């Protein structure tokens, strides 16, 4: 029997890979990372319509100036537009809530198999931090709950991350973090 399960993030990454002609390293986060980087992802992760990425500081100049990569992103978005799928946000690492040493903990993403695209995701602790950028948004908090349960994350692991989180110096984002913090702590306590 043919598997007819839709996996939008995988389709996006395979399409991007098909338009590339050289190796590109990309750290995915958001629901795309939850879909591709974890065993047995929830159905709603498979149906997300976009994939977001983090551009590491060390690769910033090379990637910003990589015209062939950006052309491949544009071609991917154009090819998948009829399905409403797109590669949307590629943020610099200093624009995302992360631990200072986040890059040392990135995890290879091996699904889908790709030729040119080398995919990674942030460590689960860092993904939880990224999910706090919209405050106590119900969808993001449900994603945090999944992450805590999936990797058995504890308060003892998260508290140092809360204390050292690196975030943009934007009051709205700092307020969002403070709104999310008690909710994430409740989720950690519930699963301890």
Tell me the per-residue pLDDT of 12-70, one tens digit each, with 9 for 90 and over. 999 999 999 999 999 999 999 999 999 889 999 999 999 999 999 999 999 989 999 99
4 pLDDT more than 80: no
Tell me the per-residue pLDDT of 124-156, one tens digit each, with 9 for 90 and over. 999 999 999 999 999 999 999 999 999 999 999
Domain boundaries, the chain: 8-190
CA separation, residue 40 to residues 36, 43, 44, 141, 146 (Å): 9, 9, 12, 19, 11
CA separation, residue 191 to residues 51, 70, 152, 183, 186 (Å): 28, 42, 8, 13, 9
Tell me the per-residue pLDDT of 89-109, one tens digit each, with 9 for 90 and over. 899 999 999 999 999 999 999
**Helices and strands, counts by H and E, the chain:** 9, 5
Ramachandran category for residue 70: left, alpha or beta (phi over 0 → left; psi -120 to 50 → alpha): alpha
CA separation, residue 151 to residues 94, 127, 140, 147 (Å): 25, 12, 17, 6
Q: Is the peptide bond before 11 cis (omega within 30 degrees of 0)?
A: no
């Amino acid at each position: 029997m043919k598997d007819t399960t839709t996996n939008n993030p995988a389709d996006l990454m395979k399409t991007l890979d098909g338009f590339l002609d050289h190796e590109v390293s990309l750290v995915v986060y958001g629901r795309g990372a939850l879909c591709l980087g974890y065993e047995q992802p929830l159905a709603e992760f498979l149906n997300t319509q976009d994939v977001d990425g983090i551009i590491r500081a060390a690769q910033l100049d090379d990637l910003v100036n990589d015209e062939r990569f950006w052309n491949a992103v544009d071609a991917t978005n154009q090819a998948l537009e009829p399905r409403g799928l797109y590669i949307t946000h590629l943020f610099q690492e200093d624009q995302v809530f992360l631990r200072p040493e986040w890059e040392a903990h990135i995890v290879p993403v091996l699904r889908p198999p790709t030729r040119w695209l080398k995919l990674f995701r942030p460590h689960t602790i860092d993904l939880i931090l990224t999910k706090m950028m919209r405050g106590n948004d119900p969808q993001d908090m449900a994603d945090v709950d999944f992450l805590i349960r999936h990797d058995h994350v504890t308060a003892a692991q998260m508290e140092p991350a809360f204390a050292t989180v690196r975030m943009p110096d934007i009051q709205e984002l700092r307020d969002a973090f403070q709104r999310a913090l008690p909710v994430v702590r409740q989720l950690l306590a519930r699963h301890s």
